[in-house]
Structures are given as structure tokens and as C-alpha cells.
Structure 1
Amino acid sequence: MTIKKLFQLAAGCAILSFASCSDGGSSSTAPKASVSLIPLPARLTETPDSFLLDKQTVLVAASEADKQTAALFNEYFKSVSGFELKVQDSAAHNMIVFASMSAADKGLPETYRLKVDKDQVTIQGDDAAGTFYGMQTLIQLLPLQKASSYWIAGVDIFDQPRFSYRGLHLDVGRHFFPVDFIKKYIDLMAMHKMNTFHWHLTEDQGWRIEIKKYPRLQEVASRRKETMEGHYNDQKFDGKPYGGFYTQEQIKDVVAYATAHHVTVIPEIELPGHSLAALTAYPHLGCTGGPYQVGTKWGVYDDVYCAGNDSVFTFLQDVLDEVMILFPSKYIHIGGDESPKVRWEKCPKCQARMKTEGLKDEHALQSWFIQRIEKYLNSKDRQIIGWDEILEGGLAPNATVMSWRGIEGGIAAAKQHHDVIMTPGGYVYLDHYQSQGKNEPIAIGGFTPVSKVYSYEPVPEGLSAEEARYIKGAQGNVWTEYMKNSEHVEYMVYPRAIALAEVLWTPKEKKNYDGFLERLKTDLPRLEKKGVNYAKHVFEVRGEIQNDNKGGVQVKLDSKLDGGKITYTTDSSAPTAQSPAYTTPIPVTQTGVVRAAVFQGDQQYGNGFQQAFVFHKAVGKIVTLAKPPHQNYNPGSPFALVNGIEGVKEFNDNQWTGYSGGTMEALIDLGDSTEINVLGLNTLGNKDQWIYPPKQVTFYLSKDGKHFTEAGQQKEIDGKGIIRVRERLKEMVKARYVKVVAQAVNKIPEGAPGEGSPAWLFVDEIIVQ
């Protein structure tokens, strides 16, 4: 069943002002859409008058920019109606006018006013972009069905963006995408008033932009011998050569298309790290001289541009010269992230550079490297953007920072009065999982549903009003290690990008998630009209695991699907429309699987909910932690340790309680004296990602919560994936309180990934039987 059919109340005949869906020309049969706009405008007033758009309606546009906007409207309108409208410099009546605001009405750049009355539609922009965005709003006021005339609801809208930078990123280094898809990506951005496309063009795994002065970038750096299959942890490869690059003519075409849609394209040329593909083509640019091989694994490579080699800067300046001809953007993104220093530490040229320049360490050398590139770009009237690692060793004077490792980098840069684009991984990385359904395509990890994207506030707390001015906006990032084709990209990006678009455009005080979901129901059919393979999780049944406040656990279900009926099972079988209807939270009283789905009639919508439970005597009981977990791995409550759910090995389900080094100590109150003969906990081993099982786990029991007796201890714990630590007591013991103390590996051993750093300790379900 398609989303269009499911939401026909929002897009079809049921919301028409009149009784018929005929495509005849009569005003009494013309369809009329509800006023449902994303992003929500700054000021919106609905009025009683409506405008009848028919085959005699004229598009009025005087300037060349307005004529271009009128042409884009006509292109869309013809795809819906089957006919186009005349474009003229003037008309007497029955017209849609594209024009500039009067001086008295002008506001911020990209501001527009849209007024619909019975005689005409008027779109006035502060600038050409404003008029364009007014046109996009007008499109959202049009019904989707084919007809020869349409009623447009009466509105008076004054609208302007909250943030000037509203971006989406796309990594084409890991997987390459054709020009037609890049244009579609830009078109979808513009549809929701996003204005910046960050094109990540170079990577360890592939160089994707033609540079005429260095042909081996196309011949060698654009191709790798094979690609990883499955997840990184599987370490499997497909054995198939892979490659591709954009010619300069193709890039000019994309930039022109973006410009027409008022989207700025910012190219990213990675330096000094993520440069293995370029080093493979030109080995003399590396510290060791090679030989190198274009990356076949995901992740970070030690080989980077040599900071002590002047030919590196000649190469990069030549590359940037050609890049700047192709991209007129104010900004050039230079990466600056994840650049290991191990080659520089042993490179005589790099060490000599540090001595000559009076640099204290390799971090300062990276700062010097980036500042040298910045000075060159500044001399060409361009500015740099870099990931927040460019803060390390000293920030380049005019740099803009993209804060991706949380919000701290953005705060630090804003306090130094540098412009900031917020891109924190936990909220706007669209390569994370968006559903906890069991049938999701493989992703890098994490869990970022639409609701979490929508909840994001780009201006961090703690900044003064002056400092907050440096937060220019935010960006959704799309890293494509696990996205092999454009359909997969669309699935990961939409509708999450729509949520971000409203975060960045709409005034903070007007944001409302439930209201957004209602408006999304009319927006999704527009995506379907454009052939977008968007994810449909947002209206599927959702489950919340709750403490029932009676010493137990229950499952609360809900769905935002209008007219949907939720049914469930507790025996692991798939629910049907005839399964028991959900009315109240479902108690968890035994080991098993709770499943649920939402139906319209006999048709199921979405993946459904499925959760396995391990029932034991501590489920739902009160837990106290001696110290809170790390902020990045905090399920939000110690309740996650006794909710009956075993976290998954991918640690993307918000179940694991994580510590960076140190000790986890948990105290469980069972509520009454309880017979116990097994104690345990689940932990995780994934040393490639710095996650180690605890070096020691000790269990204690108490009758009064004050005096504890050791009940058992486990050492030399090892393994990969989920490790179930269990201590079987010699005899049944009665106790009310259970204390569990798990000591982390404080220092990762030499030679292992992350050597010398504190190991991560992940603990999930604490078992009492």
C-alpha cells in the first residue's frame, strides 16, 4: 500500500472544497488543498478568499530572476496538471505575480511575502531567493491530483529563515552517485528551503573530481580494487573494482542547476588527512613515498599529506585553483578531520618543518598546515570551512568551524568569535539508524529517528547573545559507507531532512512535533510524486518500555497514523489485523517476545514493533548508580539495566550504559527478601572500537542495604560481541539488595586501536535469578 493511498485524506478527494474530483474546468469541481506547509512560516494568516487557477491564469514576471522562478513553477505545475501557464511581463487579472518587495517591506535575505486573494496571487521576495521560496510555498498550496483548474486557499504569509545556513551534505567518496541523482538531491533540498549543498568530493576510498593538471587523479585515485561487504566488523570484501568521478563539465552543470534553485554548492577537498587516494596517484606527496593503495576499508588511515614537503602545497594550490573556477561559493571546505600524526612523528621533513616554524607538536603542525592553505584561499577571496579538529593547535584566523563531535567544538569556536555550522553526530548524522525495526538496512550505528532530529536546537546553551550570533545554522551529514545506491541514500535522508529543514527555518517558538507530523502527512505524497524512496517509520507503531511503578515492566504502544488500529501478540507470532487490539500498556511477566503492528483495514503499515524480553527477579526494580555514565552512552535512566531487554552488539538501541574507564557500581533494591542463586550482567567486547569487557566483576548481597557480603567475583573476562557474565551461587541465598561492581580497563594496551586511552566499558542487563 502506498503512502498516497494511506494518506488520501490529506492529499486526495477527501480534503477538496467541493464534492467532485473531476478534471473538468468548472470552479465547482476544482480541487483545493488544505493549508499545510513545511517548513512552517514565520507568520501565516488564513483568509476567506481563494484564488481560482485555470488555463487562463498568467504568470507575471518582469526581471530575469523572477522569470526563471516562474519557469520552475511552470515545470512543476505541468508535471501535476498536464498543462503550463503563459509567462508575461504584465496582466490585468487572473495572475500569479513574481516580484521584488518594496523597500519598506524588506527584511532579511531570503524573506518573502505570499498573498492569495480572489483576484491574484502575489509573491514578493526580498531578493531572488526570497521569491523562489515563496514559489515553493505556493507549490505546497496546490493539490496533487490532475485537473484543469485549482482553488488555492487564501493566505497572507510573511516568512523568513531563522538561520542563514541550512545545509545537507553528501559523501560521494565512499560510494559514487550519478549527476541526475545529485540534481534530484538539490531539488529536494530546495523544496524544503534548504540552501547549501556540501559536496564531499575526495576521500581515502576515492577521488571524485576531475583535475586537468593532475590526470592520475582520474586514472588512479578515482578507483579502488574492491569494496567492503556487510559491516566493517565483518571484514569481508566483494572483490570487484569500483570507481567514478565527475568531469569538470558535469560539475559546471550541477553548479548551474543548484544556482537556479538558490542552493550554494560547497566543495570539500580533504586535507591533510583522508588523502590516501591522492597519495596513490602521486606517492611523492606522502611521508613515506609509498607505494600506496586507494582505500578499500572504511575508517581512518595513517598515511596523510606530508607537511614538510613543499610540493604538497604546490599540488593542493593547483587543485584548489581548478576547484575555485568550478565553484563560485564563498567557502571551500578543507576537511581537517581525523588526520593521524604517526607519519609526521617519524618523518624527517615534518620534524624539520616543526623546528623551522617553531611548532611545539604535531597538532600545531596541522594548524600551521591549515593556516597556510587558508592564507592561499583568502588571497583568492575565499574562506575555509573545516571540521572541528581544526580547533586543535590553534584556529586559522578566518575559519568557519563545523562542529561534528558533539557541540563543544561549536561552543569553543563561537566564544572565539568564529562562525559555526552545527553538525553534531547524535542529532544530524543521517547515516545512523532511524528505526529499531529488525529489517533495517545496515548502517554505521547510532539511533536518530525523525523525532530526535526535530528536537535539535542549534544554538547551544551557555552562549551569550553576542556569541550566539556566530551560530550560522546546521547541516545534515550523509556518509555513504553503507549506502551503495541513490535509493538507499533517499531512504536514509528522507523524511529526516524535512525535520531538519523546519528546525533551521521556522522560529523556535513555533516548533511543535505533533503539528509537524500532521503537516508531514500532506508533504510525503509530494515526495512520492518526485519518486523518492523515503523511509516510512514515522507513522509506524512505536513501543516505549516503562517501569509500571509497581516493581514491574510494561510496554506502551502508540502510532501517529490516522485511523490506525494497533494489534499485538506476546507469543512471538506476527500480529494480524485480527490479533488482540491494544488498549492499555502490556505487562511483561515472562521471557518472550512482544510484537505489535498498526493496520488500516487489513493492510499493515510500517515494520511493526518487536521486542524480546528476558524475565528475571530484578526486572523493573529500583536501580541506583554510584556515578552517572558517560553522556554519549547514557540510556537516560538506570532503569535500562533492569528492563528485561538485552542490548544488541551494534550498541545502537540505547540500552547500553557506558563508561570511559573507571568503575560502574549499581545497587538494586528487589523490594523484599528474595531467593537468589544466579547473579550476572551483560557486557560488550569490540576492541576495534575501544570497547573492552571489564577486568573484574564483583557481586555483593545484603538484607538491609548497609551491610554487604561478597557473593562472587569474575576475572579474566574476554570475548567479542555480547558477553554474558554469570555467577552461580553454591546454594540459594535470601537478600533484598544486590550490588554489582564492574571495573573497566583503564588503559588500552600498546599495539591495539586506541592504545593508551581509557577503554570503554558497556554494561546492559543486570540479571538476578
Structure 2
Amino acid sequence: MLRILLVFSLFISTLLFSQTKLNLIPYPQKVEFQNGEFIIPESFNLDKNLPKGETEFLKKHLSLNYKKTSEKDAHLTYSKVQNCLLENFEIYTIEISPKKIEIKSFTNSGYFLALQTLIQLFEQYKDAGKIPAMRIEDQPKFAWRGMHLDVCRHFFTVEEVKQYIDYLAMYKLNTFHWHLTDDQGWRIEIKKYPKLTQIGSKRKESMIGAYVDDTFDGKPYGPYFYTQEQIKEVVKYATERHITVVPEIEMPGHALAALSAYPELACTKGPFESATKWGVFDDVFCPKEETFTFLENVLDEVIKLFPSQYIHIGGDECPKTRWKECAHCQDLIKKNNLKDEHGLQSYFIHRIEKYVNSKGRKIIGWDEILEGGLAPNAAVMSWTGIKGGVEAAKTNHSAVMTPGSYCYFDHYQGDPQTEPNAFGGFTPLEKVYSYNPIPAELNAVQAKYILGVQANLWTEYILDFKQVQYMIFPRLFALSEVGWGSSKPENYKEFENRVVEHFKILDKMNVNYAKSIYNIGGKVIPSEKGVSYELSTSQNADGIKYTVDGSEPKSSSATYQNPIPVSKEMTVKSAYFENNILKSAISSQDFKTSKTTGKKINLEHLPSENYSFGGAFTLVDGIVGNVKQLGKTWLGFQGKDVVATIDFGQKMGFTEVYFNTLDNKGSWIHLAKSAIISVSDDGKNFKTIKEIGKDEILNSKGKVNLKVGSQNAKFIKIKIENAGIIPAGNPGADSKAWLFVDEIGAN
């Protein structure tokens, strides 16, 4: 009988462990639970042959007593696999048995990654005092798992950069993209050109306020830069954590800080100063011999400081205005039989690539380096969408996927009304987690050119390091698992549970992270009488309280059970309560309904990926966009018209039509050029009932409300014309303008 009980007890113990979900991020590729437990000892015996540097990292993060001993008596042993047939050098296994923990890997990098898993396991089970026996077989899917940090718009100290690198190491990211030069500041010491940091590392003031506000703080910023000794210190620190630092030196655009120090490198005489505004500027490097000499000398010093295979040369958002007006540039185009200024950009990038290749390195640049033809050995960082990565892979070029719609961590991650000011866009945790870096358009051979995935943190609106932490966490968790290749979007809630557990780790580290997943999420859905407002939370839904009269929700307010009908102008406020105590921010959503609200809508042109949250339905969801927050309530179209057809479902009478559009030329956002309203009874034959031009839209300041007479129709079509190519004298001249539209209503 006793034997049966022991067997049954062992069976139950094994069953419980097999059902245990480890709180690991990223989750391993394969976990097998086994019989028994490893009792966490007070004194942790380490095999004296363990790799020294990586093991010091383990000792720093686990508060245990340590003793070096022979392998026979060690609690932790390590074996280096000598004959690994796999190409993945980061592969590792962890075998946890009742007596010891054994790690195997092909390289020290694999061992280091195994230690990150082990540290997380100890964190999960330290209170229990024992870890279930298990075998973990693990390896990343992607070789490039990166995070970017912009230190030009706002600067961060060496110690803060080291903290940033620590976060990457903890969650198995292996590439740190350091954005070191831009219009607003030059942040790396170049000994041959001291004025780059003497002049270019400071600006007279900084733009502040919301995205569309042209207000300034009036405070000098800088000089801020890293000395070459500090650069070496950071690179060494990252290398010890098996992280590659990829430096970015922007060219040919985003060059104002450099031109402020050396104006002779421009197409015009200047004078120039480091930019005080955010955005894109016409003055760029002029492709003349002295410019190439300057850049080659700069790159010589950069290459000596950074051992990375790739050097990032920017290449993005380079206006061609100055080149069009420059006699030297036009002669260069003719002399080299180039098609146009885009061909001149390709010529520029080709020359830089040839030089970098001569030093044994490769270039990588933002997807605009595709303009005019991609340099022979260049890799593409695809940010404007996935198109650049697809084009690169199909022509046998490597690519890193970092589309703004999934991987820009300067976007809002929760309800913009409850979040700190951000650049724009809406990229919540769940969206990051849903990303698949391999575009569906690629076949198996082409997919091998996708090196991996990266998230970017631009810092226009990030004033200090606490805000850096807030913007990357918890989204870095999702990026980690996407890059590792173990993410399962269909099991997002399970991932979210692990995220909440990792908040405890961040709390101990005093990291300021976003708690947006605790706040109430709101989603507008179609209903029989218009729309309904669906509320959600990562917590118990019974804790959601709401009001519809604009008053603040209390513990005694209505408990949310079903989507809230919206059939009139109203304000829904909601919050999460636990034991009658408010546990979340109060979310507030205003609704302005019309006869188009909730109706079927079709768009002739799709919005940009970065500003497409909610799709076409966003234009008839009853929510008027906040002018200062380009988050989830606006659709953005670059170079495209908005052509929307709305089906009322039956003939409907109305006398006015309204929509909103934005004007912020500093960010390439222009008011619509014109608008045409048409009606139809069959959805095919339309009759124009109203046309307005640029002057009327300008006079309305973007809030367009049109009287259209007495109409009665089943369909309404509205064409809102994009401003087209941005004219000379404006930021982004010669590029496609952005058109932002929110709600299209009829009454």
C-alpha cells in the first residue's frame, strides 16, 4: 500500500510540474519537466571550470553564497559542445536534476543566454526553495534581436546607456543600435574634427509641448557628447554581455549639427545651427569631394571604436531641395549619367559603402537607401513598413525588420489621454507581440535574408531616463519573444500573465514601466443601432466600473458586463477597482454620433501602417480625433487621397457633412488640397453635390463642416485630396505629404 501511495504521489508531483508554466521571457523553444526537484542550497557550489566573465554576471544577479569546487561536487556545471553541426552559435541546453544544474552550449554566448534563463528560474522559485527538474533546449530564431536608442534629441549618460544594455541582456537581445548623430546634436567625439562636439553637440533651445505645438523651452541644451574613452567603455560593457553595438552616423540627411560646425560641407553657405525643432530639414551634406573626405575620416575613427560587422549610415529622410538648386550636384548628375537626385543619393551611398567595405565592414541603412538603386553589399533596415525589407530580400540583400507600426516604441502604448506625451501612433503591447518579422510575400529562400527584428526609441518627447524605461517596458518583453521566435499571438493572455510576473522584477530594480495593461481598454464595435463601446482589462472584468454621464466612476458605479450602446453624444468614463479601491487610471472617451456612425465604409487607398489602427472603421466610429495626440483615433495617408464610400444601408436624409484634417508642416502633415462630396443610390453611379478648395479648408483650420443642401441617398462618397508633393521652402520638400483624417460624419 505504501508503495502505491509513493508512486501516486510521484505521479501527481510530475503532473503538477508538467502543467507549470514557467515565468520565462522569452519562453524557451522546448521545455520537458522531469521527476524530482532541485533544492536551492544556501551555498551554491560552482564548477571551477565555468567561463569566468559570464559567471560573474550570474553571481551579481543571484544573492547566494558561492564556492568553487570540483565538477563532482558542483551544483552548476558547464560543458562546451565541440562538434556542433548547427549554424546557430547561441544554442544552449539546461538540465536541472535533483543534484545539479548542467549547462551545455557551443559558445560562451550560448552559456550567457542560458544564465539569463537560469536567473529567471531562480527568481520564480526562490520563495518555494526548489526548482522542478527539467530539460530546456533553446535557441533563437533570429540572429539580429535589437533595440535602438536615440541620444541626439535627448542625451543619456554613460551609466544610463549601460543600464539600457543591461535590459537588453536580461531579455536575450543581442544588438544595441546607438543613434549618435542627427540634426539636433552630434554626440560622438571625432578627434580630427573637434568642432563637431564643440559646436554640434549643443543647441540654443528645444521644442516642447504636444506633437503639433511649435513651442520652445528657451533653455540651452548641451554640450552633450561621449568621449572616445567613454565609447570604448560602453562597447566593452556591451561585449561582456554578448551584445553588439552598431553605431549610426547619419548621412546624407539629418546633418544640421555637423553643418553647424563645418558649413563648407553644405550646398549653401549657411550659417547653420543645430536644429531646435523636431522633423526633417532641407540642408544636408553636399556630395562634393571635401564632404566624402570628411565622412571617410569620421568613419575611420568610428570603425576603430566599434568592432561591429555593420556600420549604420542612416540614409533616411533626405530632402533633395538643396541638391536640385546646387550647380555642383546637377553637374555630378550629368557627369555620372544619373537619372535624378534619387540617383545622386544612390551614388552617395555607393561611395560610402565602397569605403566602408574597404575597411572590412558592411553598411546598413534605413530603407530610403533603396532610392535610386541599392548599394551592392548593403543591408536594409525596413522602417517605413515591410516593403523595404521585402525588396531587399528579393534581391538577395540582408534586412532587419523594424516597421513603425509594430516596432516604434516612441508611439503611445495605451489610451493617449492617460499616457505621457508621445510622438504619435498607437503601438500597444499586444500589437508588438503579434508581429511576425518574416513577410508573407517571401518564399523560404528569400526569408533567409531577414536577419531579424529591432525596435526603435526616438527621443523627441523623452526628456529623461525614467521616461526611456517607461516607453520600452513592457514592450521590450514582447520584442524579446518575437525575436526569439517563441511568441504565440493566439496565446497573448498567457504571455500577458508572464509580463505581470516580470513587473515584480522591474519593481525590485526600481524601473519605471508603463502599467497600461492594467488600465481599461476601449474598442468601438458595430452594432444594430450604430456602435457599442467594448471595455476590457488584463484583470478581473468584474472590477470594471463605468459611467455614461461624464462623471468620475466610483466603486458604486455600474459594473461592466456587456458592450455599452452608443447612440447619442456621450462620454464614457471607466476604471478598474479592486476591493472598492481604484487600481487604474480613469479612462475617458467622448462620442459624437452622426448618421454615418457604425455604417459600412470602404477605402480606395489604405492608410500608412504606422497610422492605421482600427482601419477604415476608425472614420465612422463616433470618435473625433484629438489634434494633439496622433494615436489610435486618426488615419494617416502619405501621398494618397482619402476616398471613402459609406453605405447607410438605406436611403438617408442629411444636410451637412464634416471631417477633420491636420496641419503641421514641420512634420510633413499638410491640410487637404480639396474635397468632393458625392451621393448615389446604387453605389456605382455617383452625383457630385459639393466641392471645396484649399482656401476653404485653410479657413476652417482643418475642421471642415459643409452644408450640402437637402440630400436623400443610400451611399455617400467623400474624396479628400492629399496635398501631394511638398513644395520648396517647406520641411520635407520634394517628398510626399501626409494627410491625416479622423471622423467623417453626416447629419
TM-score, normalised to structure 2, is 0.90
Task: Please say if residues 52 and 152 of structure 1, whose CA atoms lie closer than 8 Å, have aligned partners that are also in contact.
Answer: yes
Task: Please say if residues 433 and 487 of structure 2, whose CA atoms lie closer than 8 Å, have aligned partners that are also in contact.
Answer: no
Give 2:656's aligned amino acid: L
- The yes-or-no answer on 1:553 pairing with 2:531 is yes
1:192 aligned partner? 171
Give 1:304's aligned amino acid: V
Task: Please say if residues 388 and 404 of structure 1, whose CA atoms lie closer than 8 Å, have aligned partners that are also in contact.
Answer: yes
Q: What secondary structure, in the 3-state scheme, does the structure 1 residue paired with 2:77 have? A: strand
Which of 314, 339, 347 is the equivalent residue of 2:326? 347
* TM alignment of 1:273-292, pairs within 5 A: 273-292=253-272
- The yes-or-no answer on 1:337 pairing with 2:316 is yes
2:41 aligned partner? 54
* TM alignment of 1:669-708, pairs within 5 A: 669=648, 671=650, 676=653, 678-686=655-663, 688=665, 689-693=668-672, 695-698=674-677, 700=679
Give 2:44's aligned amino acid: T
The whole-number CA distance in structure 2 between the counterparts of 1:759 and 1:285 is: 28
2:545 aligned partner? 567
1:245 aligned partner? 225
Task: Please say if residues 399 and 418 of structure 1, whose CA atoms lie closer than 8 Å, have aligned partners that are also in contact.
Answer: yes
The whole-number CA distance in structure 1 between the counterparts of 2:117 and 2:406 is: 26
* TM alignment of 1:747-758, pairs within 5 A: 747=724, 750-751=727-728, 753=730
Task: Please say if residues 206 and 217 of structure 2, whose CA atoms lie closer than 8 Å, have aligned partners that are also in contact.
Answer: yes
Structure 1 residues 744 and 341, CA, compared in 2 at 3 Å: closer, same or farther?
closer
The whole-number CA distance in structure 2 between the counterparts of 1:705 and 1:107 is: 57
- The yes-or-no answer on 1:295 pairing with 2:275 is yes
* TM alignment of 1:751-766, pairs within 5 A: 751=728, 753=730, 762-766=740-744
Q: What secondary structure, in the 3-state scheme, does the structure 1 residue paired with 2:467 have? A: helix
Give 1:473's aligned amino acid: G
- The yes-or-no answer on 1:643 pairing with 2:621 is yes
Which of 113, 134, 140 is the equivalent residue of 1:155? 134
Give 1:344's aligned amino acid: W
Q: What secondary structure, in the 3-state scheme, does the structure 1 residue paired with 2:342 have? A: helix
Task: Please say if residues 185 and 201 of structure 2, whose CA atoms lie closer than 8 Å, have aligned partners that are also in contact.
Answer: yes
The whole-number CA distance in structure 2 between the counterparts of 1:565 and 1:153 is: 35
The whole-number CA distance in structure 1 between the counterparts of 2:413 and 2:563 is: 24
Give 2:274's aligned amino acid: V
- The yes-or-no answer on 1:129 pairing with 2:114 is no
Which of 54, 73, 81 is the equivalent residue of 2:58? 73
Q: What secondary structure, in the 3-state scheme, does the structure 1 residue paired with 2:111 have? A: helix
Structure 1 vs Structure 2 CA RMSD: 2.7
Give 1:465's aligned amino acid: A
Structure 1 residues 567 and 387, CA, compared in 2 at 3 Å: closer, same or farther?
same
1:85 aligned partner? 66
Which of 357, 365, 375 is the equivalent residue of 2:336? 357
2:6 aligned partner? none
Q: What secondary structure, in the 3-state scheme, does the structure 2 residue paired with 1:194 have? A: coil
How many residue pairs are counted as aligned between the two chains?
Answer: 720
1:591 aligned partner? 569
Q: What secondary structure, in the 3-state scheme, does the structure 2 residue paired with 1:372 have? A: helix
The whole-number CA distance in structure 1 between the counterparts of 2:738 and 2:286 is: 32
Task: Please say if residues 38 and 130 of structure 2, whose CA atoms lie closer than 8 Å, have aligned partners that are also in contact.
Answer: yes
The whole-number CA distance in structure 2 between the counterparts of 1:557 and 1:510 is: 20
Structure 1 residues 318 and 118, CA, compared in 2 at 3 Å: closer, same or farther?
same
Per mean C-alpha deviation after superposition, the further-off stretch among 352-361 and 593-602 is 352-361
The whole-number CA distance in structure 2 between the counterparts of 1:626 and 1:68 is: 57
Deviations 1:749-768 (A, max 9, x none): 84464667776555443334
How much does 1:440 deviate? 1.5
Give 2:553's aligned amino acid: P
Task: Please say if residues 148 and 456 of structure 2, whose CA atoms lie closer than 8 Å, have aligned partners that are also in contact.
Answer: yes
2:491 aligned partner? 512
* TM alignment of 1:386-425, pairs within 5 A: 386-425=365-404
Task: Please say if residues 692 and 744 of structure 1, whose CA atoms lie closer than 8 Å, have aligned partners that are also in contact.
Answer: no
The whole-number CA distance in structure 2 between the counterparts of 1:508 and 1:582 is: 31
Which of 244, 247, 258 is the equivalent residue of 1:264? 244
Per mean C-alpha deviation after superposition, the further-off stretch among 137-146 and 491-500 is 137-146
Q: What secondary structure, in the 3-state scheme, does the structure 2 residue paired with 1:512 have? A: helix
How much does 1:188 deviate? 0.5
2:721 aligned partner? 744
1:725 aligned partner? 705
- The yes-or-no answer on 1:307 pairing with 2:249 is no
- The yes-or-no answer on 1:486 pairing with 2:465 is yes
Q: Percent identity?
A: 43
The whole-number CA distance in structure 1 between the counterparts of 2:649 and 2:123 is: 59
Task: Please say if residues 540 and 598 of structure 1, whose CA atoms lie closer than 8 Å, have aligned partners that are also in contact.
Answer: yes
The whole-number CA distance in structure 2 between the counterparts of 1:651 and 1:331 is: 34
The whole-number CA distance in structure 2 between the counterparts of 1:757 and 1:249 is: 40
How much does 1:593 deviate? 0.6
The whole-number CA distance in structure 2 between the counterparts of 1:59 and 1:413 is: 47
The whole-number CA distance in structure 1 between the counterparts of 2:30 and 2:36 is: 18
How much does 1:505 deviate? 0.3
TM-score, normalised to structure 1, is 0.88
Deviations 1:360-395 (A, max 9, x none): 322222222222222222122111111111111221
- The yes-or-no answer on 1:139 pairing with 2:109 is no
The whole-number CA distance in structure 1 between the counterparts of 2:582 and 2:470 is: 19
Task: Please say if residues 227 and 240 of structure 1, whose CA atoms lie closer than 8 Å, have aligned partners that are also in contact.
Answer: yes
Structure 1 residues 619 and 357, CA, compared in 2 at 3 Å: closer, same or farther?
closer
The whole-number CA distance in structure 2 between the counterparts of 1:737 and 1:510 is: 39
Structure 1 residues 37 and 757, CA, compared in 2 at 3 Å: closer, same or farther?
closer
Give 1:50's aligned amino acid: E
Per mean C-alpha deviation after superposition, the further-off stretch among 661-670 and 94-103 is 661-670
Q: What secondary structure, in the 3-state scheme, does the structure 2 residue paired with 1:48 have? A: strand
Q: What secondary structure, in the 3-state scheme, does the structure 2 residue paired with 1:62 have? A: coil
Structure 1 residues 287 and 94, CA, compared in 2 at 3 Å: closer, same or farther?
same
The whole-number CA distance in structure 2 between the counterparts of 1:314 and 1:760 is: 36
Which of 339, 345, 348 is the equivalent residue of 1:369? 348
How much does 1:34 deviate? 6.5
How much does 1:721 deviate? 5.6
Task: Please say if residues 571 and 593 of structure 1, whose CA atoms lie closer than 8 Å, have aligned partners that are also in contact.
Answer: yes
Q: What secondary structure, in the 3-state scheme, does the structure 1 residue paired with 2:35 have? A: coil
Task: Please say if residues 48 and 71 of structure 2, whose CA atoms lie closer than 8 Å, have aligned partners that are also in contact.
Answer: no
- The yes-or-no answer on 1:111 pairing with 2:91 is yes
* TM alignment of 1:393-472, pairs within 5 A: 393-472=372-451
1:582 aligned partner? 560
Structure 1 residues 351 and 615, CA, compared in 2 at 3 Å: closer, same or farther?
closer
Task: Please say if residues 519 and 585 of structure 2, whose CA atoms lie closer than 8 Å, have aligned partners that are also in contact.
Answer: yes
How much does 1:566 deviate? 1.1
- The yes-or-no answer on 1:607 pairing with 2:588 is no
Q: What secondary structure, in the 3-state scheme, does the structure 1 residue paired with 2:22 have? A: coil
Structure 1 residues 233 and 590, CA, compared in 2 at 3 Å: closer, same or farther?
closer
Structure 1 residues 300 and 412, CA, compared in 2 at 3 Å: closer, same or farther?
same
Task: Please say if residues 437 and 610 of structure 1, whose CA atoms lie closer than 8 Å, have aligned partners that are also in contact.
Answer: no
| Runs of 5+ consecutive residues of structure 1 not aligned to the other structure | 1-32
Structure 1 residues 272 and 641, CA, compared in 2 at 3 Å: closer, same or farther?
closer
Structure 1 residues 714 and 332, CA, compared in 2 at 3 Å: closer, same or farther?
closer
